[in-house]
Amino acid sequence: MPLVAGVDSSTQSCKVVVRDAETGTLVRQGRAAHPDGTEVDPAAWWSALQTAVDAAGGLADVAAVSVAGQQHGMVCLDEAGQVVRPALLWNDTRSADAAAQLIEEAGGGEAGRRFWADAVGSVPVASFTATKLRWLARHEPANADRVAAVCLPHDWLTWRLAGAPGLEALRTDRSDASGTGYWSPATGEYRFDLLERAFGRRLRVPAVLGPAEAAGQLDPAVLAGAGTAATGPGAAAPGGVAAPGGALLGPGAGDNAAAGFGVGARLGDVVVSIGTSGTVFSVADSPAADPSGIVAGFADATGRFLPLVATLNAARVLDAAAGLLRVGLDELADLALSASPGADGLVMVPYLEGERTPNRPDATGSVHGLTLRTSTPAHLARAAVEGMLCALADGLDALAAQGAVVRRVILVGGAARSAAVRRIAPQVFGYPVVVPPPGEYVADGAARQAAWLALGGSEPPSWTPAGTEEYAAVPVPAIRERYAQARERHLDRPAQG
């Protein structure tokens, strides 16, 4: 009964699960917080990973480990493998102008967007790594001069777990490579010409692995600071295939692909993940190329594709509403559920961090429909939940317009713990909503990948989460109709904002 570990290095925290490779049974887990902010020193992720591994009882007895992580973040390394500057995260919008430049340079407008969609499956927005590289080249030339290699958060952590053995040992996987803007999911090849176009010169990038290919081996010495359980020989998995040097390292994945893998999404399932980001995605057999830029044509963690719509404003909209109302998240849910569907016409457009889909990096949030009747905490709480879900429902429509089959929605992410989100989602989406038991589905997807690696075989082990809740579709179209009236009416950030 070998054990395997999965890591989710997400925006707000690092989570580690240790599971039985054959059955998927959870054996132990740990977590640690990440710092706030849209630029973060990767050393903070490494330190959180060590703390989370320690809290999860170490990795000395696991046969394989895979790391999933927030997508797109730009981690730049110099020739010696040192981090050049703090990583710019997916939700850092400073490269919005760079995204616009890259589209303009490819012909501008529809032609420019079409060029990028055809080349790499997605139209650049500020989230994508290519735009961050352009920003770096233009705004920090001294730092840019020092960069020898660029990789993503999960690539860097996997490499650190292997003992940081030289830039040539950097590895990534298809799903995360597909969010860079310089790798094509359709051809499975890097577009070095586009990397060069973005940054001005060619850089070393990680080799892209297939779904169950090993990225190397865990160097047990690198976790020496992470607690006694992690300092052992690292090959102690009974029946496992870990080599004497340490557990096998999986290719890892972008967090959304890992969540899809973790919940076992199939044709007809659309996964809606409500964490720091809101994402709406499905598993597909062919690559997407949406020139409108709404649907990103990513790859998945199984060798297939993952058309995806992402919003910048998701769980933190509820955090902000709870803060405004000075209540906890459970009380916010109670308040929201005490108001009627549609909140009597109160609408929140939740662009608190600007927005990525639709592409409005400078937008701010707004509240519409205030009357004496709707000026209550319950109405505001309901409007916050509905507004956030309406933005995701727009994404669901876009995915369906690109050919996704939608039979049900699988709801995951931190905010799926909210009773209000679970109950209001079927009203807003108009589809049955399935909520797996609260868990860490990104880390679980990574663990399942590690199990695939440890056990071998052409198919991954099938792990089925028990205790799934199902909510019937009860569409209330008026909620989205009212939101659609308000959506275009918002202010941009003040110049110094």
Residues annotated as part of the active site: 255
Name the packing angle between helices 153-161 and 42-55 (round to 10°): 60
Distance in angstroms (rounded) separating the CA atoms of residues 301 and 122 = 18
90 versus 159: smaller Cβ distance to ligand ADP: 90
Number of residues that bind ligand 5SP (CB under 6 A): 16
Q: Does 276 bind ligand ADP (CB under 6 A)?
A: yes
- Tell me the torsion sign for CA atoms 451, 169, 68, 189: negative
Q: Does 173 bind ligand 5SP (CB under 6 A)?
A: no
- The entry of ligand ADP, ligand 5SP, none near residue 90 (CB within 5 to 8 angstroms by kind) is ligand 5SP
Q: Does 93 bind ligand 5SP (CB under 6 A)?
A: no
Given the structure tokens 């590895």, which residue do they identify?
171
Query: In this chain, which stretch among 18-26, 70-78, 180-188, 476-484 interacts with ligand 5SP, using CB under 6 A?
Result: 70-78
Strands, E assignment, 244-370: 248-249, 253-254, 269-274, 278-281, 296-299, 305-311, 347-349, 366-368
How many CA atoms, within 13 angstroms, populate the side-chain half-sphere of residue 68?
Answer: 33
CB atoms within 10 A of CB 469: 12
11 versus 217: smaller Cβ distance to ligand 5SP: 11
Q: Is 402 annotated as a binding residue?
A: no
Six-digit token pair at 244? 């004497």
Closest CA to 300 of 249, 258, 252, 251: 258
The distance of closest approach from Cβ of residue 280 to ligand ADP in the complex, given in angstroms and rounded to an integer, is: 14
Query: What residue type is assigned to position 259 of the chain?
Result: A
Q: Is 71 annotated as a binding residue?
A: yes
219 versus 353: smaller Cβ distance to ligand 5SP: 353
Instruction: Give one DSSP letter per residue of 250-278, joined into a string.
Output: ---EEHHHHHHHHTT--TTEEEEEESSSE
- The entry of ligand 5SP, ligand ADP, none near residue 127 (CB within 5 to 8 angstroms by kind) is ligand 5SP
Query: What residue type is assigned to position 146 of the chain?
Result: R
- Please, is 438 exposed, middle or buried when counting C-beta atoms within 10 Å of its C-beta (0-12, 13-18, 19+)? exposed
From candidates 29, 51, 70, 359, binder to ligand 5SP by CB under 6 A: 70
From candidates 57, 246, 293, 414, binder to ligand ADP by CB under 6 A: 414
From candidates 413, 439, 445, 460, binder to ligand ADP by CB under 6 A: 413
Q: Does 219 bind ligand 5SP (CB under 6 A)?
A: no
Q: What is the contact mask toward ligand ADP in residues 416 to 445, using x (rule: CB under 6 A)?
A: -xx---------------------------
Strands, E assignment, 82-211: 87-88, 149-151, 171-173, 183-184, 189-190, 207-209
Query: In this chain, which stretch among 41-49, 54-62, 254-262, 373-381 interacts with ligand 5SP, using CB under 6 A?
Result: 254-262
Q: Does 10 bind ligand ADP (CB under 6 A)?
A: yes
Give residues in contact with ligand ADP (CB under 6 A): 10-13, 275-276, 315-316, 318-319, 329, 413-415, 417-418
Annotated binding site for substrate: 71-72
Give residues in contact with ligand 5SP (CB under 6 A): 10-11, 70-72, 90, 127, 179, 254-256, 275-277, 279, 310
